[in-house]
Chains A and B, each alone.
Chain A
Amino acid sequence: MFDDIRAEARKLLRRPAIWTLLAVALTLSLIFTYIVPYAGYAGGTSGPTADRGLAAMLPDQLVGNAIGGLPVFLGALMLILGVLTVGSEYAWGTWKTVLTQDPSRVRVYAAKLVVALLAALAGVLAVFAAGAAASALIASGESAPLDWPAAGDVLVGIGAGWLIAAMWTVLGALLAVALRGVALPVGLGLVWLLAVQSLLSLIAAPLLDWVAQVQKGLPGPNAGSLVAALGGGTDTPGVEAVVGGGQATLVIAAYVIAFAALGGATLRRRDIL
């Protein structure tokens, strides 16, 4: 197993696409959490987030800001990470080369998930670090107080962020196995995350009560609820307290386990061409 993890780590770390994902994740979170709001604040424009103004960008808001993107856009990037890790073996036909070296399918799959989840953690940590740097810069530029959140809160935030990231990553891996490739899983995953989720919560749930009830069990709303419970601004897309933080944590953890088990079982059963 350890050897398989090292093999997977080599494949992931050497892959340019993975570093592109990380760069996109950092750029997007800085732009939408700090640069655009700060530009708006500095220019005195009124907008949907303007009333929170400077306060929302200061270091004490780090946790909510850092994990605020995970229900939607950072989540989408995490899903792509999961799809790439597993789906490329189909796209390049490399499953046969790997599996005829004699590792068990489930072991390779587990190794892939371990490596992808470590990469997801690294991504979450990088977003925290970039957010900390940006907020410190803004605070000192505006002579605002440099109040950092308690270390415990930061740790809980990182843990929650990782959990949400893990759910999307493992979902990406599952889609890759189910659809045996990269393109379709990425496409369908993004349609779900970026379009269907917001249609459900913005249009369907207010109209139909049963949709509102179903929402409480879906991945996205639970991720949004966990972020909201940890101080994420509810003006961020996808962040909304549909259920409590504790329940959201349990539901997300259950999804991680279920997606992982389902993907492993499917890979084990199916023919590899």
Chain B
Amino acid sequence: MAEITLQDIIKEENLVYKKSKVMTDNTLSYCPGCGHGTAHRLIAEVIEELGIQSETIGVSPVGCSVLMYNFLDIDMQQAAHGRAPAVATAIKRIMPEKYVFTYQGDGDLAAIGTAETIHACNRGENITIIFINNGIYGMTGGQMAPTTLEGMPASTCPFGRDIELMGNPLKMTELVANLAGVYSVSRHSVHTPRNVRKAKKAILQAFESQKLKRGVSFIEIVSNCNSGWKLTPRKANEWMEENMFPFYPLGDIKVDGQLVTK
């Protein structure tokens, strides 16, 4: 048998994976190893697979992903800090046939945008909310967020979050799961192949239930902010597994309108 060379393998007809066409060629503005890029690509892949590139409108937040509209080749609107669910509400009500999603960090969704998030969820707006929780304000220099874990250092609590002084971390995802307008809630990560596949499936299902007018689908992605956490990308992912996942456990929280009892 003749030895097969790399040239024999690397041919157009043998291609099994490349970056989705729904991603633009712009270089992502994210730090090396930041989960925002992976999360963007999964959304792009779902849009490509469902063939809804011209029927999808995204709403980008304030935070590191503020420029998301430069990276996904779809219609997007950038919202004021925390207001993405309100903007998405308007877009969906004016154009109910479109697929509408928000993409928001934890500072955006769980701090300044708490009211917009809770009320859009409670109203049962027919939208998809994608929530990237890295436990701090990444863009502005790693300040403490409502989601910062007990004992977790941040630039505004360098000795770690002290609950007595700074209050408890907020599980926004469990909170919205209790609202009647919310149809499905799940928590994911995008740092390993297995988790990437699960997160993508959840995004796909969220878009499908939007077509069926089921109300809010809410997907949290626990992610890293390796720059803010002051760890290398690989160490940040390990830290996330050890520290974030025990407090923010991955899995289904609400399925088909029913809370999952564990």
Q: Do A and B come from one complex?
A: no
